[in-house]
Amino acid sequence: MDMKREIVLASGSPRRRELLARFGVPFRVQTSRIDETRDLPDLPEKVVEELARRKGKAVAAGCRNALVIGADTVVVFDGTILGKPKDEQDAVSMLRMLSGKEHQVYSGLSLITVDQGKITREDVSHRMTRVWMRPLSDEKIEWYVNTKEPLDKAGAYGIQGLGACLVDRIEGCYFNVVGMSLSLLDEMLTETGYTLAQD
């Protein structure tokens, strides 16, 4: 990899920023303002890939030499995509729906390579993790929603926070549920000649 390329995280998510920072890789954050509702595919894996691609490309357009990481996450229950709750009542409804059942979390990643102000490569992929929620009482749901933690998270819970109390088990990548599969990101970076494993 040309070491002059900077890494840019095209996401305002504090969780994704924290995940990338754990590796001690220098990067900057630049958020994109894209329409997340227009002309989306039907399948959840295609939705997260498309939104990750749009976010990455929007930020890449303003870069000179960079590897731009775009990401998107959705929760899927019984074939329905659950985004972030609109308000506290919506969070309660989502958690009641997920209570005692399995759902899937899809996170899409895009890696856009920019050289001399031009996009020279686009890689897009996703991971899926299965999550089983514990049976949740109304009191437990009310307690959790009152913490405000679920209000900015897809599916109305954060597995990396107090939401861990609600989860029985998972199958697949934990970090995918947090919002960005680090193993997938490392695979994609490695294909460009870069790796998260630093000396």
Is residue 111 within 8 A of residue 56, CB to CB? The reply is yes
Domain segments of the chain: what residues?
Answer: 6-191
What is the structure's pLDDT at 136?
98
Look at residue 180 in the predicted model and tell me its pLDDT. 95
Range of 52-56, 81-85, 195-199 with top mean pLDDT: 52-56
The string of pLDDT tens digits covering residues 17-47 is 999 998 888 999 999 887 666 777 889 999 9
If pLDDT is split at 50, 70 and 90, which confidence band does 191 have? very high
Parallel, antiparallel, or unpaired: how do β-strands 102-115 and 118-133 relate? Answer: antiparallel
Q: Report d(CA 68, CA 29) in Å as an integer.
A: 10
Q: What is the dihedral of CA 12, 166, 83, 149, to 10 degrees?
A: -40
Question: What predicted TM-score, i.e. pTM, was given to this entire model?
Answer: 0.90
Give the residue numbers marked as catalytic: 72
Confidence grade of residue 143 (pLDDT, cut at 50, 70, 90) = very high
Assign domain 6-191 one CATH number from 3.90.950.10, 2.60.40.2310, 3.30.460.20, 3.90.180.10.
Answer: 3.90.950.10
187: phi then psi, degrees, rounded to nearest 5: -60, -45
**At which residue do the structure tokens 């991971």 appear?**
127
